[in-house]
Amino acid sequence: MELKNIKKDCLYCGKALTGREDKLFCNVDCKNNYHSRQRAELKAKEHPNAAAIISTIKNNYKILLTYQLHAMDEGSMISIPKHELTSKGFNERFHTSTFTKQGETWHCCFDCAWLDQGKNFVLTYRAEQAIL
């Protein structure tokens, strides 16, 4: 029986490996860091602005939550001046979905929805969106 004497290096830090033949990393930290880097590289390839878009959507949702839409009965609506939302950083271009009701296009940010009425936004809560 012939022993293989192949020297391998850690895929993350490059240190020489000792132990099992099939070993790829010198420790758990290197393994975790390697896989974290791989995931980050894949995300970066998906869309160059994905992180900024997701961040904007989350920010929109946080702003909408300040109006306690979840405490409202479904179908209840409140009107908020558009400048009030935009001054808090709300960006109406970014949302998770849209729907049309009575010929009007509503935009959703998860389970909160808004309708642009010129100088105001009409806000409401949509329980069926919460299931997504």
Q: Could you read off the pLDDT of 82-118 as tens digits, one per residue?
A: 999 999 999 999 999 999 989 999 999 998 999 999 9
Domain boundaries defined on the chain:
8-46, 52-130
Q: How many residues make up the chain in this entry?
A: 132
Q: What is the pTM of this model?
A: 0.64
Q: Could you read off the pLDDT of 16-35 as tens digits, one per residue?
A: 999 888 999 999 999 999 99
Phi, psi for 2 (deg, rounded to 5) = -105, 130
Phi, psi for 96 (deg, rounded to 5) = -95, -25
Structure tokens at 115: 């309708």
